[in-house]
Each structure stands twice: as C-alpha cells, then as structure tokens.
Amino acid sequence: MSSQSFNPSTINSYILFNHNYNVIPVKIRLKDASDPGAINLGPSQSLTFEVRYSGGKAKFYYTNKEVQQIDLNNGSSSDDLNTPNSDNNGYNTLRYVPSNRQGASDIINFDVNTFETLFTDNDGIAGGGTAIFTQAIQGSAIRTALSST
C-alpha cells in the first residue's frame, strides 16, 4: 500500500463514493442515537461525513450525531469502516475490516496524518466482486472511491 500525507487543519469531511460498484446497502452505526435505515448507495452516489477534532483526536459525524461504524453490507459482520476513537476502534484511525478479519487495515491514520491511496477487498462487498478503493484529497475532504475491477 502507498500512503499520502494530509494536513488535518484542512480536512473536515470524509466522502464515501461509489464509482461503479454494485449497489451497497450502507448501515451507519451511531453512538447514543437510533441508526438510520440502510442507505442503498448506487453507482455515482456518495455519502459525506463530517470530521471533527478534539485534542488531536478525530471523530466522524453524520446528521450531527457521532458515527461508530460505516457498515457496507447492512449489518453483517464484515466489510466495515470502523471510525476513529469509537466503540469499535479505540485508535485514531479509520479501519477497514474485510470478511477476512485478519486483513483489517488502517486506511486513514489521524496520528501521523496519512491515508492509503489504494487498497482492495478481494472477496468483494455485500456479495459483489473484488472491490478496489482509491483515496485522495478532494477539497477539504478525504474521498474514498469504490470501484469494481
């Protein structure tokens, strides 16, 4: 994996963008609030999360509520983005957990201010084929684009 650095003072959003993958049933897990229903994220659609910092620690927010996890298969126990400093991830990182849980990786590290520019999920998401994730800075956001092979 190749990483790129970022300046946290210029990053206040995280965007999950479905470039051309199958429709993904996204479940957003919130802290101390009811989770919204699954959002079917189709090709060319995106979800945006606010990134807030306190004492150098990052947290993600959706509709002004703290996010614990961005689940990419409507609640099954894999294909998850565990948000930083949450119940599912005690580190200052955004961690991707594929179905092979040993393959979990920190895709954004807010301690050293780096993100992985490319990573894959070889067994796919929500029953789909191999998933390719590319990350880049887009304005004041880090954007993760999901593509099929």
Count of the separate structural domains present in the chain: 1
pLDDT in tens, the chain (149 residues): 689 999 999 999 999 999 999 999 999 999 999 999 999 999 999 999 999 999 999 999 999 999 999 999 998 888 999 999 999 999 999 999 988 766 789 999 999 999 999 999 998 998 899 999 999 999 999 999 999 98
Predicted model pTM = 0.96
CA 60 – CA 66 distance, rounded (Å) = 6
Which range marks the domain in which residue 46 is found?
Answer: 3-148
For the chain, the first-to-last Cα distance in angstroms comes to 17
Contact at 8 Å (CB) between 27 and 74?
Answer: yes
